[in-house]
Amino acid sequence: MELWEQFKFMNSKGFTLIELIVVIAIIAVLSGIVLLSVTQYINIGKDSNVKGNLSVLITDGEAFYNGNGNSYNNGVVNGVDTSFCASGAVQNAWTQIPTGSTHYCNASSTAWIACAQEFSNTKYYCVDNTGIEKEITTSCAGLTSCQ
């Protein structure tokens, strides 16, 4: 009976070091899985933000065109860029896109293109004056349309 009492006393001291390490390892693995999932959903939300802000530019571009002598780019007037890319609509879109996304805009007198990098993948979201909205795999710099 004395041996049994000693065994009960040893078991009542708490958890062994190995048991604690196993529990901590399980918690760490589960936390990592949750963190990756949450990060992915946050990036998908940021992508929706990019797409929404760029989609608005299609109608804003047409309003700009109609209000500026049927041109998306009237050049520099009195030291001020008067192109669609310098307009308040585009500048507002850039400020609404989450930090970390590179963006690009180009306007000629007859066309414009705007695009920004997405967060959940390595693609860019592109919109232009023809109403095209699509994901592209290359950077927008230098492009004149989304086609």
User: Quick check: helix, strand or coil at residue 110?
Assistant: coil
Indicate the domain borders of the chain: 12-136
Task: Tell me what the pLDDT averaged over the chain comes to.
Answer: 87
Average pLDDT over residues 130-139: 92
Summarize pLDDT for 33-84 with one digit per residue, the tens.
998 889 889 989 999 999 999 999 999 999 999 998 899 988 888 888 889 9
Single pTM value for the model? 0.73
C-alpha to C-alpha distance for 12 and 99, rounded to whole angstroms: 54
Contacts of residue 119, defined as CB under 8 A and 6 or more positions apart, other chains included, come to 43, 44, 46, 47, 50, 98, 100, 101
